[in-house]
Amino acid sequence: MSRPLLSLLTFLFLSIICNAFSPENPTDRKVLVLLDDLSVKSSHSLYFQSLQSRGYDLDFKLADDPRVALQRYGQYLYDALILFSPTIESLGGSLNAAAILDFVDSGHDLILAADASASDLIREIATECGVDFDEDQAAMVIDHTSFAVSDTEGDHTLIAGDNFIQSDVILGKEKIKAPVLFKGIGHSVNPANSLVLKVLSASPAAYSANPKSKLSTPPTLTGSAIGLVSVVQARNNARILISGSLSMFSNRFFRSGVQKAGSTINHGRSGNEQFVTEISKWVFHERGHLKAVNVRHHKVGEADEPSIYRINDELEYSLEIYEWSGTSWEPYVADDVQVQFYMMSPYVLKTMSTDQKGIYYTSFKVPDVYGVFQFKVEYKKLGVTSLSLAKQIPVRPFRHNEYERFITAAFPYYGASFSMMGGFFIFSLVYLYHK
Amino acid sequence: MMKVLGFLVLLALSSALTCEAAIFKPISHSHRSAALELFTPADGSFKSFEEAYEALRTFEVLGIKKQPDQRADTCASVVDTLSSPSSALKDLFQALRVNGLLNCELNKKAFAGIVPRLKDAVKIASSLLDSYYSVGSLVLIKGLSSDVDVHLESADSVFRAIKALGQSDGRWRYSSNNPESSTYAAGIAFESLAGVISLASSEIDQSLISMVKNDISKLLGGLEKYDDGAYYFDEKLVDAQGHQGPLAASSAVVCGITSFATVSAENLNLPGDKILGLARFFLGIGVPGNAKDLYYQVEALASLENNRVSMPLILSLPTNVLSLTRKDPLKVNVNTVLGAAAPSLTVKLKQIFSSGSKDSSVIDQDLKFDHKNAVHYLDALPKDIDVGSYVFTFEVVLHDSEHRMIYATGGRTKVPIHITGVIKVNNAEISALDSDLGNVETRKKLDLAGENSVCLSANHLQKLRLSFQLTSPLGHALKPHQAFLKLTHESKLEHIFVVHNSGKQFEIILDFLGLVEKFFYLSGRYDIELTVGDAVMENSFLQPLGSVELDLPEPPEKAALPPPLVVDPSSRFGPKEEIAHIFRAPEKRPPRNLSYAFLALVLLPFVGFLVGLLRLGVNLKNFPTSAPATFAILFHLAIAAVLSLYFLFWLKLNLFITLKALGFLGIFLLFVGHRTLSHLASTSAKLKSA
DSSP assignment of B523-590 = -EEEEEEEEEE-TTBTT-EEEEEEEEEEE-PPPPTTPPPPPPPPPPHHHHSSPPPPB---PPPPPP--
C-alpha–C-alpha distance, residues A432 and B48, integer Å? 129
Whether A179 is covered by a domain: the verdict is yes
Q: Which of B127, B150, B173 is the last residue of a domain?
A: B150
On whether both A74 and A152 belong to a single domain, the answer is yes
C-alpha–C-alpha distance, residues B37 and A117, integer Å? 32
pLDDT in tens, B255-307: 888 888 887 766 667 777 788 888 888 888 878 877 888 888 888 888 888 77
pLDDT at A17: 42
C-alpha–C-alpha distance, residues A296 and A320, integer Å? 9
On whether both A260 and A376 belong to a single domain, the answer is no
Whether the pLDDT of residue B246 is over 50: the answer is yes
CATH number for B355: 2.60.40.1080
Q: Which residues of A touch B636 (CB under 8 A)?
A: 425, 428-429
Q: Which residues of A touch B618 (CB under 8 A)?
A: 430, 434
Q: Which residues of A touch B320 (CB under 8 A)?
A: 151-152, 154
pLDDT at B304: 84
Q: Which of B522, B555, B588 is the last residue of a domain?
A: B555
Give B 550-609 residues with CB within 8 A of chain A: 563-567, 569-570, 572-581, 583-584, 589-590, 592, 595-596, 598-599, 601-603, 605-606, 609
A130, B227, B459 from B272: Cα distances, Å: 53, 17, 71
On whether both A245 and A312 belong to a single domain, the answer is no
Q: Which of B150, B166, B192 is the last residue of a domain?
A: B150
Whether B139 is covered by a domain: the verdict is yes
The torsion of the CA quartet B198, B200, B205, B210, rounded to 10 degrees, works out to: -20
Whether B569 is covered by a domain: the verdict is no
On whether both A305 and A236 belong to a single domain, the answer is no
A177: number of Cβ within 10 Å: 11
CB B583 to CB A414 under 8 A? no
**To the nearest whole angstrom, how far is the Cα of B642 from the nearest Cα of chain A?**
10
Whether A9 is covered by a domain: the verdict is no
Whether B593 is covered by a domain: the verdict is no
CATH number for A41: 3.40.50
On whether both A253 and A127 belong to a single domain, the answer is yes
State the total domains in chain A.
3
More confident residue, A320 or B211: A320
Whether B501 is covered by a domain: the verdict is yes
On whether both A268 and A416 belong to a single domain, the answer is no
B493: number of Cβ within 10 Å: 16
| Residue B62 pLDDT level (bands cut at 50, 70, 90) | confident
On whether both A124 and A150 belong to a single domain, the answer is yes
On whether both B283 and B341 belong to a single domain, the answer is no
On whether both B377 and B483 belong to a single domain, the answer is no
Q: Which residues of A touch B632 (CB under 8 A)?
A: 432-433
The domain of A82 spans 18-283
CB B575 to CB A336 under 8 A? yes
pLDDT at B661: 94
On whether both B27 and B167 belong to a single domain, the answer is yes
On whether both B305 and B400 belong to a single domain, the answer is no
Whether B614 is covered by a domain: the verdict is no
**Strand, coil or helix: what is A221?**
coil
C-alpha–C-alpha distance, residues B573 and A387, integer Å? 13
**Strand, coil or helix: what is A424?**
helix
On whether both B400 and B530 belong to a single domain, the answer is no
Question: Cβ neighbours of residue B669 under 8 Å, at least 6 residues apart?
Answer: B635, B638, B639, B642
Residue B411 parent element (H or E) = none
On whether both A173 and A64 belong to a single domain, the answer is yes
State the total domains in chain B.
5
The mean pLDDT of A118-123, rounded to a whole number, is 92
CB A425 to CB B293 under 8 A? no
Q: Which residues of B touch A412 (CB under 8 A)?
A: 595, 598-599, 601-602
Counting one residue from A and one from B, how many pairs have CB atoms under 8 Å apart?
262
pLDDT in tens, A244-279: 999 999 988 988 888 888 888 888 889 999 999 999
pLDDT at B256: 86
Nearest beta carbon to residue A255 from set B30, B389, B482: B30
| Residue B317 pLDDT level (bands cut at 50, 70, 90) | confident
On whether both B640 and B661 belong to a single domain, the answer is yes
The domain of B365 spans 314-420
Give A 114-133 residues with CB within 8 A of chain B: 115
On whether both A255 and A296 belong to a single domain, the answer is no
Nearest beta carbon to residue B481 from set A192, A215, A312: A215
Whether B576 is covered by a domain: the verdict is no
pLDDT at B52: 82
On whether both B319 and B412 belong to a single domain, the answer is yes
| Residue A16 pLDDT level (bands cut at 50, 70, 90) | very low
Whether A44 is covered by a domain: the verdict is yes
Q: Which residues of B touch A426 (CB under 8 A)?
A: 609-610, 613
pLDDT in tens, B85-141: 777 788 888 888 888 777 777 776 767 777 778 888 888 777 888 888 888 888 888
The mean pLDDT of B482-492, rounded to a whole number, is 88
CATH number for A349: 2.60.40.1930
On whether both B137 and B175 belong to a single domain, the answer is no
On whether both B109 and B227 belong to a single domain, the answer is no
Q: What angle do CA B397, B400, B404 make, to 5 degrees?
A: 60
**To the nearest whole angstrom, how far is the Cα of B589 from the nearest Cα of chain A?**
7
On whether both B454 and B491 belong to a single domain, the answer is yes
Whether A178 is covered by a domain: the verdict is yes
Whether B567 is covered by a domain: the verdict is no
On whether both A194 and A324 belong to a single domain, the answer is no
Whether B289 is covered by a domain: the verdict is yes
On whether both A87 and A175 belong to a single domain, the answer is yes
DSSP assignment of A226-269 = -EEEEEEE-TT--EEEEES-SGGGSHHHHH--EEBTT---EESS
**Strand, coil or helix: what is B609?**
helix
In this prediction the pTM is 0.81
On whether both B456 and B511 belong to a single domain, the answer is yes
Do B127 and B99 contact (CB within 8 A), yes or no?
Answer: no
Whether A346 is covered by a domain: the verdict is yes
On whether both B305 and B193 belong to a single domain, the answer is yes
Helices B183-199 and B206-221 pack at an angle, to 10 degrees, of 160
On whether both A388 and A410 belong to a single domain, the answer is no
